[in-house]
Amino acid sequence: MSSEPYLKAERRSPGTIEAHIESISLFEAFLKETSEDADIDVATPKDIELFVEQAEGQGLSKKKLLWSLHNYYGFSGRPALHSHALALRRETMQGEKKNRPSPLLSTLHGALLDTVTALAKRGIESAKTLLQHAATQADRTLLASISGVPIEDIEELASYADLSRITDIKGKRARLLLEAGIRSVQQLRLWDPEELLSHLTDVVEATGLLKRPPTPTESRYWIKQAKELPDIVEEIGPPA
């Protein structure tokens, strides 16, 4: 069974759909080589584990392969295999997240060079270091005073630093959330996924920031992460 209709419903790009089909084909080829029953629809959780371990050893992305498998099994109605592939993918992502370097402030789309440079002179170049100096309103006011950076720029970067704790929120996606009026993890977690998707779609159409809006899966996952993350930044209000 093809999951191409599902991916189209999720508004995946043709390139993503092609990559997904390639991953499924690789798993089918693996099963033919290693299993007496090469039917992908009756594969076992152990088959999935062995496949991604072998593929990772060959330099392929374990996370991407598991993404394809959990989508396939979700669409084809195999809940046990879907859940197993999804759990493995989340475990992989958590491991990557722990080792992921904090994004540089300069990676925020539209960040002002003068602002980033002024903070860098004070040893504040990444989201992590900014959060250490701008968690509270008093911290942000003090940093603006000693760095000469306008408070509104400090607050925007603090918003970015907070939101960047969510996987895949950086660059233009971070700017999209800011343009949508979402300035903290606390604010993001309050959204309903469908309402968030609709709102972000409107912002994309109005600004042209992204080639396509986030997918339903992405909006759900962002909110899920926001609900699981601890609060670090004291609430940041709207721009003046």
Mean pLDDT calculated for residue range 26-45: 86
> Residue 12's pLDDT band (boundaries 50, 70, 90)?
low
- Residue 11, pLDDT score: 59
- Residue 95, pLDDT score: 67
DSSP per-residue string spanning 30-84 = HHHHH-SS--GGG--HHHHHHHHHHHHHTT--HHHHHHHHHHHHHHTT-HHHHHH
Mean pLDDT calculated for residue range 100-119: 90
Candidate ranges 3-7, 19-23, 66-70; pick with highest mean pLDDT: 66-70
Q: With pLDDT > 70 as the criterion, what percentage of the chain qualifies?
A: 90
Q: Among 2-11, 171-180, 200-209, which is the least confidently predicted range?
A: 2-11
> Residue 135's pLDDT band (boundaries 50, 70, 90)?
very high
Of 37, 73, 33, 64, nearest in space to 50 by CA: 33
With a cut of 90, say whether residue 20 has pLDDT above it: no
With a cut of 60, say whether residue 9 has pLDDT above it: no
Which position has the token pair 């002024």? 118
With a cut of 70, say whether residue 23 has pLDDT above it: yes
Residues 6+ apart with CB under 8 A from 93: 63, 167
With a cut of 80, say whether residue 89 has pLDDT above it: yes
Average pLDDT for the chain:
88
Q: Among 44-53, 89-98, 159-168, which is the least confidently predicted range?
A: 89-98
DSSP H stretches of helix in the chain: 4-9, 14-34, 45-57, 62-75, 79-99, 113-120, 127-133, 137-147, 151-163, 171-179, 185-188, 193-207, 216-228
With a cut of 70, say whether residue 8 has pLDDT above it: no
- CB count within 10 Å of CB 205 equals 11
With a cut of 80, say whether residue 35 has pLDDT above it: no
Asked whether the whole model's pTM tops 0.75, one would answer no
With a cut of 70, say whether residue 3 has pLDDT above it: no
**Cα gap 143→94, rounded to integer Å:** 32
The answer to whether 131 and 158 are in contact (CB under 8 A) is yes
**Cα gap 165→227, rounded to integer Å:** 12
CATH architecture group of domain 4-99: Orthogonal Bundle (1.10)
CATH 1.10.150 residue ranges of the chain are 4-99
pLDDT tens, position by position, 39-86: 888 899 999 999 999 998 888 888 889 988 988 888 888 899 999 998
Q: Among 55-59, 171-175, 227-231, which is the least confidently predicted range?
A: 55-59
Of 219, 222, 183, 220, nearest in space to 200 by CA: 219
Chain centroid to CA 25:
26
Mean pLDDT calculated for residue range 100-128: 91
**Cα gap 46→82, rounded to integer Å:** 13
Any idea what DSSP says for residue 237?
A: -
Angle between helical axes of 216-228 and 193-207 (0-180°, round to 10) = 120
